[in-house]
Amino acid sequence: MERARAVIPNGMYGHESVALLPEGYPQFFSRAEGARLWDVDGNEYLDYMCAFGPNLFGYGHAEIDTAAAAQRARGDTMTGPGEAMVAFAEAMVAQVSHADWAMFCKNGTDATSMAVATARAHTGRGKILVGRGTYHGASGWAIQRASRGLMPEDKAHVIHFRYNDVESLADAVKMAGDDLAGIMITPFRHEVFQDQFLPDPAFLQFARESCDRAGALLIVDDVRAGFRLDRDCSIEAYGVSPDLSCWGKAIANGQPVSALLGVEKARQAAGSIVATGSFWFSAVPMAAGVATMRAIRETDYLERTIARGTALREGLQQQAAAHGFTLRQTGPAQMPQILFEEDPDFRFGYAWVTEALDRGVYLSPYHNMFICSALTEADVRLTLERTDDAFAALKARRSSVQPVEKIQPLVEAIRAANR
């Protein structure tokens, strides 16, 4: 950290910074394997963050890494793409029922920004509707919290609605008038420092109908949740199909690639936007993506992650009760958010994950977590042994736990935005 602070502003930045985590969380890691992680001091952790999403099948997954290595021996970043890019596009189009075509990029933000441009190109209109407080990436149009370096014009054509609130979405549609280009939604609400919640089917249906009525495009931002809830786009289970969907994180099990998928009617518009990046066409992530799609199709990874997440959730709920705490465990079990009831300043949550970390379990006190399919039943049992000790330790110092001062301004800002 000392070396890092000398040559990197604040020592680190972005979503993998430990700035908002409790003191003692390690910033740098030396090794990762399966569902485990070792920090640079040699401490081993059961990792429930999965690199914030990319790790779906386990770090260093044999078949996916073998496919990547075979491609790497031939070529990676070349003067043009490899055949693997076509194979990956074919595999994603085969896997995702609404998709007729695919475009690959690098960041999740690339995919959501390309979706916005495609909706505007398709409709010839400007307004994009997004959920208030919803994270869709780190570009000016998407950043909602007051941030230095942004201009008001970045969001000139973005209108916010309240997620799951049909009336609020109807107001936003009305505000867009005849300039509605698209509505962007996450498949469920997965925001920091908040309970997660699933979409109301009537809300999804209303978003779909609003786009159909206006000739606008319905966009699903599946960057974080894609292939973790379903082997298809995450909202298909609700009987709602988008026109565009944004993917990233887990689609190549940690190799850097994101994607925009779309329906036939949006193909021409997608082909008309300016979108490119130095490493977007590198062959290795494409080959890893093909192998990842095969694993998604052919393995029980989804059922496994749900089963492990459910076992963890049930075990934690019992432990919390036994030690006199109540947890709010929200969202899909395989993407758990774990907050404490009656913990408005997050002091108990922060203290509990610190106790867990000290016992080799890496949890987040504010960000949704992820279960990878390399996590075994024995790993969950081991986790629960350790979290039980963590609850006991928390109970013992319950009355002396201090609030977490550094997060209070952010927590307040989030509460205000949600009001």
- CB distance 254 to 228 below 8 Å: no
Q: Which position among 23, 24, 42, 274 is part of the footprint of its own copies (CB under 8 A)?
A: 274
Phi, psi of 325 (to 5 degrees): -120, 160
Residue in 32, 37, 38, 50 with CA at minimum distance from that of residue 372: 50
SS3 267: helix
- Stretch in the footprint of its own copies (CB under 8 A) among 138-146, 331-339, 384-392, 408-416: 138-146
Residue list 71-100, contact with its own copies (CB under 8 A): 74-83, 85-86, 89-90, 93, 100
User: Of 11 and 403, which CB lies nearer to its own copies in the complex structure?
Assistant: 11
Q: Give the C-alpha separation, 145 to 168, whole Å.
A: 20
Residue list 308-327, contact with its own copies (CB under 8 A): none
Q: At closest approach, how far in Å is the CB of 138 from its own copies? A: 5
- Stretch in the footprint of its own copies (CB under 8 A) among 267-275, 297-305, 333-341, 393-401: 267-275
Angstrom distances, CA of residue 149 to CA of 110, 140, 216, 382: 19, 9, 31, 45
Residue in 50, 156, 154 with CA at minimum distance from that of residue 109: 154
Tokens of 282: 């590198």
Interaction between residue 419 and its own copies (CB under 8 A): no
Interaction between residue 133 and its own copies (CB under 8 A): no
Q: Which position among 22, 34, 108, 336 is part of the footprint of its own copies (CB under 8 A)?
A: 108
Phi, psi of 275 (to 5 degrees): -155, 120
**Neighbouring C-beta atoms of residue 151, cutoff 10 Å:** 8
Interaction between residue 126 and its own copies (CB under 8 A): yes
Q: At closest approach, how far in Å is the CB of 369 from its own copies? A: 10
Q: How many residues bind its own copies (CB under 8 A)?
A: 104
Q: Which position among 40, 62, 321, 392 is part of the footprint of its own copies (CB under 8 A)?
A: 40
User: Of 145 and 174, which CB lies nearer to its own copies in the complex structure?
Assistant: 145
Interaction between residue 413 and its own copies (CB under 8 A): no
Residue list 382-411, contact with its own copies (CB under 8 A): none
Q: Give the C-alpha separation, 215 to 164, whole Å.
A: 21
User: Of 78 and 396, which CB lies nearer to its own copies in the complex structure?
Assistant: 78
Q: At closest approach, how far in Å is the CB of 179 from its own copies? A: 11
**Neighbouring C-beta atoms of residue 250, cutoff 10 Å:** 24
Q: Which position among 3, 42, 298, 342 is part of the footprint of its own copies (CB under 8 A)?
A: 3
Q: At closest approach, how far in Å is the CB of 193 from its own copies? A: 16
Residue list 218-257, contact with its own copies (CB under 8 A): 223, 248-249, 254-256
Which residues, at least 6 apart from 78, have a Cβ–Cβ distance to it below 8 Å?
Answer: 281, 282, 283
Q: Which position among 20, 56, 59, 240 is part of the footprint of its own copies (CB under 8 A)?
A: 59
Strand bridging mode 127-131 / 258-262: unpaired
Q: Give the C-alpha separation, 54 to 358, whole Å.
A: 25
Interaction between residue 186 and its own copies (CB under 8 A): no
- Stretch in the footprint of its own copies (CB under 8 A) among 25-33, 201-209, 214-222, 401-409: 25-33
Q: At closest approach, how far in Å is the CB of 264 from its own copies? A: 10
Q: At closest approach, how far in Å is the CB of 113 from its own copies? A: 7
Interaction between residue 103 and its own copies (CB under 8 A): yes
User: Of 112 and 194, which CB lies nearer to its own copies in the complex structure?
Assistant: 112
Tokens of 136: 């869709």
Tokens 């398709």, residue located = 122
User: Of 278 and 399, which CB lies nearer to its own copies in the complex structure?
Assistant: 278
Residue list 345-374, contact with its own copies (CB under 8 A): 362
Q: At closest approach, how far in Å is the CB of 312 from its own copies? A: 17
SS3 342: coil
Interaction between residue 113 and its own copies (CB under 8 A): yes
Backbone CA torsion sign across 7, 13, 16, 22: positive
Q: Which position among 20, 35, 46, 50 is part of the footprint of its own copies (CB under 8 A)?
A: 50
Q: Give the C-alpha separation, 167 to 203, whole Å.
A: 9
Q: Which position among 22, 55, 220, 386 is part of the footprint of its own copies (CB under 8 A)?
A: 55
Q: Give the C-alpha separation, 341 to 280, whole Å.
A: 44
**Neighbouring C-beta atoms of residue 344, cutoff 10 Å:** 11
- CB distance 77 to 84 below 8 Å: no
